[in-house]
Amino acid sequence: MHTRTLGRDLRVSAIGLGAMGMSQSYGPNPGDRREMIAVLRGAVDRGVTFFDTAEVYGPYVNEELVGEALAPLREQVVIATKFGFRIENGAPAGLNSRPEQIRAVATASLERLGVERLDLFYQHRVDPQVPIEDVAGTVGELVQEGKVRCFGLSEASAETIRRAHSVHPVTAVQSEYSLWTRDPEPEVLPACAALGIGFVPFSPLGKGFLTGAVDASTSFADGDVRTTIPRFTAENRAANQALVEHIATLAQAKDATPGQVALAWLLAQHPWIVPIPGTRRLGRIDENIGATQLPLSADELADLHELADRVGVQGDRYNEHHMSLVDK
């Protein structure tokens, strides 16, 4: 597995693993915890060293799962987690990035993960009620205290990134980015490039759509987050199928899978981009890792880059509530 550097010195595998789906969001959760632990440890065996979780996933249980699975491998891995939500009655209940909340979450996450220091501590969503300078300053204090190694932001605007970075260095920005979600390109990616900040795309495979595993006929299980996303209505899935078909055609020509082409395109955008596709299966991890060995020519990259403009993408990437949490 190739490695890449986020920020100044956070060295991680070129493909990471998002663990959220092991505890929530994609239908019934796996009944066998041991199976998910085996997947996480199997990922390390295959060269994955970058793992993503958050207190709100579950809530709490995803951090506990990741912590237990990676405890024997702690020196080999980088674990990212997040703060920023208020959790009440076992569910997120709005944003909270007040300094005392950040400190409380850091303490609890350290315990759940079973670590002495949080490798990468993201603000999960920008809290408009708390100046980002106060957030960055608080995380900076946690860094000085040895409780946090690196500071990150998620779904933050370019202006917010710059303001935070002026107080304490931002190592990575995590936002949705893929062949059908290009929102970071106009402003966020140039800001990261200028400031030396890494970028971590979540949902780099379009929540499964870009792999070809989802089409207009797919039925989602109860509790699957995709039932709440406008882009995943049956009508929009049918309209967006042309995008996947184009990717699949290129994949077939290169003896690859559509998911590998989608990941290879992301990796080719900048050397400081590290996608974190999620999965519950080792076979899918093997497939995702294969994207690091898939060369795309300049013409192929340009063609894919122009694909969304030519084909079009129908439907918003979030529902109205979740869009309201994205920093503008």
Half-sphere exposure of 324 (CA within 13 A, CB side): 5
Report the distance separating Cα 13 and Cα 10, nearest Å. Answer: 10
Active site residue 60: no
Q: Which of 26, 57, 122, 177 is catalytic?
A: 57
Which residues are identified as catalytic? 57
